[in-house]
Chain A
Amino acid sequence: QKEVEQNSGPLSVPEGAIASLNCTYSDRVSQSFFWYRQYSGKSPELIMSIYSNGDKEDGRFTAQLNKASQYVSLLIRDSQPSDSATYLCAVNIMNYGGSQGNLIFGKGTKLSVKP
């Protein structure tokens, strides 16, 4: 059973701090990794994708990938109360002999940014 694991939280950080969200996955051959943000009562929204080892930065968000450790993380710099949401990690799992793949989602980490 392919799995994606996240701490459920809640993770509480003060406004202006760095929030660090972590995710581990079980399938060694996964090649595509995503972070989604989900506000309460809303649907998930894609905020970051990463395909290569290392860091990828987009504004206040940085995704980090380490395929050897099967670990992906999301850093949010200068956290704002508007960042308070549940963050879902998603990893692609290939099927149909490698011709297609589906995303496997973690259960999410709830982030709370306190003013």
Chain B
Amino acid sequence: DVKVTQSSRYLVKRTGEKVFLECVQDMDHENMFWYRQDPGLGLRLIYFSYDVKMKEKGDIPEGYSVSREKKERFSLILESASTNQTSMYLCASSFGTAGGYSYGYTFGSGTRLTVV
């Protein structure tokens, strides 16, 4: 089974702190994604990456950055945490697309971040 591992299940950080959320997958997936999920708003894409050193902004990148130095690891960085970044953060990975067809995503277990 594909495993997508997020480093922390719960995190509490102070406003203004720099926060690192780590995600590691073990199935040689090309594509990796970071989402946040809030009640009533669904899954919102923050950043994604199709390859090492490659990153693309999703729908809500403001206040976030990412790093992908190795194929298996995709890190989300909150440059200066704010209370409106309190959320569930989900990492996902996938083999990507072949012949116009997409593989499904595998999600990590999520990190519930509270910024106080």
Q: Interface of B with A (CB < 8 Å)?
A: 31, 33, 40-43, 45, 48, 50, 90, 96-97, 100-110
Contacts and interface: CB of A to CB of B under 8 A. Distances in A.
Interface residues of A, number: 24
Given A44-B107, A102-B45, A108-B42, A31 B96 contact: no
12 contacts: A34-B104, A42-B110, A43-B90, A51-B101, A90-B104, A100-B31, A100-B97, A102-B45, A103-B104, A105-B42, A107-B40, A107-B41
A49 interface: yes
A10 B100 CA distance: 34
Contact of B107 (A32, A45, A108): A45
Shortest 7 CB-CB distances between A and B: which pairs? Answer: A107-B42, A92-B102, A32-B102, A43-B107, A46-B104, A105-B43, A43-B110
Interface string A21-45: 0000000000110100000001111
Interface string A85-115: 0001010101000111111011110000000
B100 A94 contact: yes
Contacts of B109: 42-43
Main secondary structure of the interface of A (DSSP, over half): strand
Given A43-B109, A44-B107, A100-B97, A106 B102 contact: no
Nearest to A46: B104
Interface string A61-100: 0000000000000000000000000001010101000111
B62 to A, nearest CB: 18
Nearest to B96: A100
A98 B103 CA distance: 15
Nearest to A107: B42
Given A43-B107, A43-B109, A94 B97 contact: yes
A43 B108 contact: yes
